[in-house]
Structure 1
C-alpha cells in the first residue's frame, strides 16, 4: 500500500465503503468515487475533499487509479466497473482492502446478523473516550463524532465485520464479538445452516490467544480457546446487567463482568437490547484493562448511532404523554422485535405507530410470515413499497404479502407521498389524546429521507 497514490471507489456512498475511503483520504491518498444517488453521506465526503459523481460514465472515471475498490452491491453490468476489469486495473472488494489495512494491527471485530453496528460503535467510543485510542471502521454514523471512521496513533482497529458476501472471513480478529446469528442474506448463503457455518469459520479466524465474546445462547458451534459469554440479565453468562432501572428514556444498571463490577452505569439510549449491546462493549473495554471509572464515564457520554433507536423527537421529561418520534435501521424481523419491545418497555401505555419500508424482494419473500408476526405487535403499521437496493423485482412479491399475513397492527399500504399526507393530516385525528403517541420509522432503504419532513409535520401537531 505504500506505493498507492490514487484510489477510486465504485459505490463510495455505502456506509462501509465510505469508512475505507475516509481512511485512505486521512493518509493523504487521492480518493474519489461514484455512487448512484447523492445522499447526506456523499455530500459529507465531498465537503471533506473527496470528489463524487453520480453517473455511470467511463469518461468521468479516473484513468490513473492505482486501485479500484467496489462494493458487491454494484450490478455486474456497471460500465465503469467493467472498464476497469477489462483494462487490467487492480480491482478489489472493500473486504480485500480492509484485510490489507488490518493485517498487522490489533483487531476487535464485531459480527452478527443484527446489533453489530451499535456494538461496534459503542466499543470504538469507549476506547476513544477513555483515551485508549483506536482506528474505527463503523457501519453507522456515530452521533458523538458525526462520522463512521476515525484514526488514532494506537495501532488498534475496531471493525464492523459484515457477513454479507462472506466479507468478514477476510479479517483476523484478536477479539471477536458475535451479537446474533439469525438466518439472513439467504440470497448469498442459501440456508440457515450455511449462515451458521460462516460464523463458525469467522470464529476460527481468531489469532492464537484471541478472545471470543459471544451472546449467551447463540453460536454454540463457535469455538475458541478463550470464550466469554454476555447476556442482558442472565447471571449464568460471564457478563450481564443487574439492577436495571428506566430513567429519562434511557437506563441505569450495574455491569457484572468476568473480572469486576461497575455500578450505576448510565446509558442515555432507548431499547433494552442496547443495554445488552453495551454489556458486550464494556466487556471488551474491561478485557483491555481500561479503568472502570473511565468506562463508566464513556458510557454516560455515548450519544448513540444515527438510525439506531435514534430519538428524532425525544420524550419530554415534563410531559409524560408527549409525542415521541424514533427512527431505526431495523430491516430484519428480529431487529424489529427488539425495536418494538424496547419501545413498549419505555412507553408501555402509549399508542405505537410503525412506518416500515421492507428492504429487498428476497428478504421480504423469505421472511414475510416473520415480518407479519412481529409487526402485529404494534397498534398501527404503515407499509411502504419494497426498497429494491441491488435486486430486480420478484413477481408477486410486494409489501402486501406481509399485510395479508398480519393478525394485528391494522396494516395500511401507502406510497411515500400518501404517507407524508397522512402524517400531516390524519395522524392528528387517530392519535392517542389521553396517553400520547410513539411514531417509528424503520427500514434500511431510503425511508430515512422522509424523517425530516415527518418531524416537521409532527412538531406542528405538537
Structure 2
C-alpha cells in the first residue's frame, strides 16, 4: 500500500471526477500515489490536469469505464442511482464511498481545519491555504474552487495541517473531525435537503460536535444564524468557542475595514492588541472571511502577526469576483454568487470598488428549488445593478418544478425598480450585453452554472 493512502483508496474510481469537490480528492490521492480513475460528462481543463497527475479520465458514463480491480467507487450526492458505473459497481460488489468519507479518510492523522457556512467557504479555505503555504507550512488542502495563485483546488502537502471546505448541502460535513472548525454564517439554503432553519441548526450543531475534544469553533459574531448556533455550541463539552466580527462582544473584534480600491485594509483587536493587515480582494464580506481565517490559524497556534501578513498574499479564487478581461473600456468580471446574500455582497463590493461605474449583471439562476424559495430575494438583489439580463434556470442535478421559472426573479426585480431583461437564448447574451455596455462600465456574469462561459464571449463581442 502506498504511504498515506487508506487501503480502500488505493485504486478509486470517481463518478463525476471533474467536479470541484471530487477532483480535489482525486488530485490528492494521485499525488499520494494512488491509481486514480474516473469519468465525467465532458472534457475539461480539470480532466487534463488529472491526467497530468497520472489519473485515467473517461468522458461520458459507461459501465465499461469501471475497472474490475477498482478498490472503491467514489460518488457525490449528485450522482443518480441509475448511473451505469454505479450499477456496474453493484454487480462487481465494489464498495461505494461518498465523497465526504473519502475526504475524511485523507485528513486522518493531520491537524484539520474545516471551513463551513452557507456562504464564503471557498474563499476562506483558499485564504488559509495560501497563507499557510506562504508561511512554509506546506499544508494539504481541498477547496471548491481554483486558487488564482497556485491555480488548483487541491494539493497534498508534506506539512501537518489539512484545510478543507466542509459542505453542509447534504450534511456531509458531519463526517469530519477537525481540530479547528470555522462557521461563517448559517442561513436556509439547499431546500431539497433542508425543510426549515431548525434542521439547518441541528445539522451545524452536529458538525460542531464533531470537533475533537479541546478543539476550537471559530464562528461569526454578527450573523443571526451564527449567533444562534454559538449559543448551542457553548453547551457542547470540551469545545473552545472563538467569535469574530464587528460586534463589541467578539473575541476577535474587527475595529475597522477600510476599502482601498480593489483591496481592503483591516484592523482587528486580538488579545487586547491592534493588528492591521491587507486583504487583496474587494468587499467587506471578503475582509470578514480573512478575519475568520486569521482566528482559525491563531487557534492552531500560528503567530497572529505572521499569519496576518501572509493572508495579504491571497489574490482570489476563480469565479469569486474574478476579472476575466477588459475590452472597449469595459471590464468583465465573473461571480459564483447564486444565493441572495452572496449576490448582494458581491454587488455591494463592486459598487464600493468602482462607485462611478455603471454595473451591468448577467444572472443565471441555479436550481429550481432555490429559485422557488428565494427567487423574490434574488430579484431584489438585482436592484443593486444598473441593468440586468436574466437567463433561464440552470437545473444542475434537479428536474423542473412546474411553474418555477426565471419570471419569478424578473417580476420581483421589476417590483423593486430594477431594469431587467429576460433572455432565453444563452447564445444571444454576449451580443445583447455588448450592445448595452459603454466605456467605463462593469459587466458581472453571476451564477453557479455555465454562465461563466459568457465572459470571454462578451469580451469578444466588445472587441469586434
* 1:244 Cα deviation after fit: 3.0
Please list, as runs of the form range in 1=range in 2, the aligned pairs for 1:257-268 lying within 5 A after superposition: 257-258=270-271, 260-263=273-276, 265-268=277-280
Partner Cα distance (2:51, 2:446) in 1:
27
Whether the 8 Å CA contact 2:181–2:296 is kept in 1: the answer is no
| SS of equivalent residue, structure 1 residue 12 | coil
Alignment of 1:382-421 (within 5 A): 382-406=389-413, 407=415, 408-414=417-423, 415-421=425-431
- Counterpart for residue 172 of structure 1: 177
Task: Tell me what 2:252 maps to.
Answer: 239
Q: Distance in 2 between matches of 1:183 and 1:94?
A: 23
Residue number among 314, 323, 345 corresponding to 1:311 in the alignment: 323
Report the TM-score when normalising by structure 2: 0.91
**1:217-263 deviations in Å (ceiling 9; x for gaps):** 324234143111111x3343122333433224111222322464322
Alpha carbons of structure 1 residues 219 and 205: separation in structure 2 relative to 1, 3 Å: farther
Match of 1:250 among 263, 270, 273: 263
1:142 and 1:306 in contact (8 A); partners too: yes
| Alpha-carbon distance in structure 1 between the residues aligned to 2:185 and 2:106 | 26
Closer, same or farther: CA 295–329 of 1 in aligned 2, 3 Å: same
Q: Is the Cα contact below 8 Å between 2:138 and 2:158 reproduced in 1? A: yes
**Aligned residue number for residue 442 of structure 2:** 438
Distance, in Å, in 2 between the alignment partners of 1:227 and 1:322 is 48
Q: Which moved more, 1:107-116 or 1:394-403?
A: 394-403
**Is the contact between residue 118 and residue 277 of structure 1 (CA under 8 Å) also seen in structure 2?**
yes
What is the root-mean-square deviation of aligned Cα atoms in Å? 2.0
Q: For structure 2, list consecutive stretches of 5 or more residues without a partner in the other structure.
A: 1-5
Aligned residues of 1:186 and 1:192 also touching (Cα < 8 A): no
Deviation at 1:381, TM superposition (A): 1.2
Other structure's SS at 1:301 match: coil
Kept after mapping to 1: 8 A contact 2:259/2:283:
no
Deviation readout 1:297-344 (Å, 9 max, x if unpaired) = 322221111111212237x9xxxx953322111011111011111112
Q: How does 1:53-452 map to 2 (within 5 A)?
A: 53-217=58-222, 218-221=226-229, 222-224=232-234, 225-231=239-245, 233-258=246-271, 260-263=273-276, 265-313=277-325, 323-406=330-413, 407=415, 408-414=417-423, 415-424=425-434, 426-428=435-437, 431=438, 436-452=440-456
Distance (Å, rounded) in 2 between the aligned partners of 1:258 and 1:293: 12
Deviation at 1:207, TM superposition (A): 0.9
Aligned residue pair count: 447
Q: Is this contact kept in 2: 1:271–1:309, CA < 8 A?
A: no
Partner SS state of residue 171, structure 2: helix
Q: CA deviation at 1:4?
A: 4.7
CA contact (8 A) 1:250 1:268 kept: yes
- Displaced runs of 4 or more, over 6 A: none
TM-score (norm 1): 0.92
Contact in 1 for aligned 2:66/2:88 (Cα 8 Å):
no
Structure 1 unmatched ranges of 5 or more? none
